[in-house]
Amino acid sequence: MDGIVNSNFEKYFIWSFSENIRKFLLDLKALTETRKEMQEKGLLTPFQLQDKLSMEEHMKNEIQNCMRRAQVKIDEKKKEEEKMIGQITYRLERKIREMDKLKEEEEYRQQVEERYEARMKKEKEAMEMQSLAEIWSKEESGHKEEGTISEKKETTSSKNKKNGKKNKKGKSEESGSSGSEEVNELKIEELSL
């Protein structure tokens, strides 16, 4: 509100200066015309003529002073407007810089989140792959153990069968078959390795 009042006052002040100047100019013109008329008719003494000329000169000086004051007021107004525009521009630029900084921070935060999510995804995939590899290796080792156990069972059952046959044949063959049993056991151990 104060800005509007000040602005209106300054406009009125400048207008009143220009009105005063206009009045002074009209008065000066009227004074000059009357002096010229009186001078042509010879109604003025040299002393009166000098007095009228000094009065005209004084009015010219007043008009120039009014014009200078009006120009000073106009220049001050321009400076104030430029200062105000400069302040507003500075504030706007500062706001723009702050907004740019916030935007950069937001973009950086999003990049960090994206990198974090990508890293977590990779770690999750790596853990899944590792768990699958462990499961697969357990299954493989389970199949190998089953194969080894079944081979051992087969060799044991075949040994038992052989031993049963040997026991029927006689004790003389039993001493020879014990050596072959040791060989069979060595073969089984080699297969399991």
Is 144 a domain residue? no
Residue 107 vs residue 136, higher pLDDT: 107
pLDDT at 46: 87
Q: What are 9-33's pLDDT values in tens digits?
A: 455 555 666 777 788 788 888 888 9
Residues of the domain holding 45? 2-95
Least confident of 53-62, 78-87, 103-112, 176-185: 176-185
**67, pLDDT greater than 90:** no
Instruction: Show the beta-strand stretches assigned E in the chain.
Output: none
- Residue 32 in any domain: the answer is yes
Model confidence at 81, in pLDDT bands (50, 70, 90)? very high
Average pLDDT, the chain: 77
Domain assignment present for residue 51? The answer is: yes
More confident residue, 15 or 121: 121
Residue 91 belongs to a domain: yes
Q: Where is pLDDT greater, at 85 or 191?
A: 85
Asked if residue 90 belongs to a domain, the reply is yes
Cβ neighbours, 10 Å, residue 66: 19
CA distances from 48 to 27, 36, 51, 53, 185 (A): 18, 12, 5, 9, 158
How many Å apart are CA 113 and CA 119, to the nearest integer?
A: 10
Taking alpha carbons only, the member of 172, 148, 152, 150 closest to residue 160 is 152
More confident residue, 86 or 151: 86
3-state secondary structure of 42: coil
Domain-embedded: residue 12:
yes
Least confident of 140-149, 155-164, 171-180: 171-180
Distance in angstroms (rounded) separating the CA atoms of residues 63 and 22:
9
| Percent of the chain topping pLDDT 70 | 64
The number of folded domains in the chain is 1
**Over the stretch 129-159, which tens digit does the pLDDT of each residue have?**
888 888 888 777 766 666 555 555 556 555 5
Write down the pLDDT at residue 85. Answer: 94
Closest CA to 54 of 43, 64, 46, 65: 46
Check residue 100 and give its pLDDT.
Answer: 95
The size of the chain, in residues, is 193
Structural domain includes residue 178: no
Instruction: For residue range 89-98, list pLDDT tens digits in order.
Output: 999 999 999 9
CB-CB contact of 14 with 73 (8 Å): yes
Residue 189, pLDDT score: 62
DSSP string, 100-151: HHHHHHHHHHHHHHHHHHHHHHHHHHHHHHHHHHHHHHHHHHHHHHHHHHHH
Q: Smallest Cα–Cα separation from 155: which of 123, 184, 117?
A: 184
Is 46 part of any domain? yes
- Token pair 């430029």 is at which residue? 82
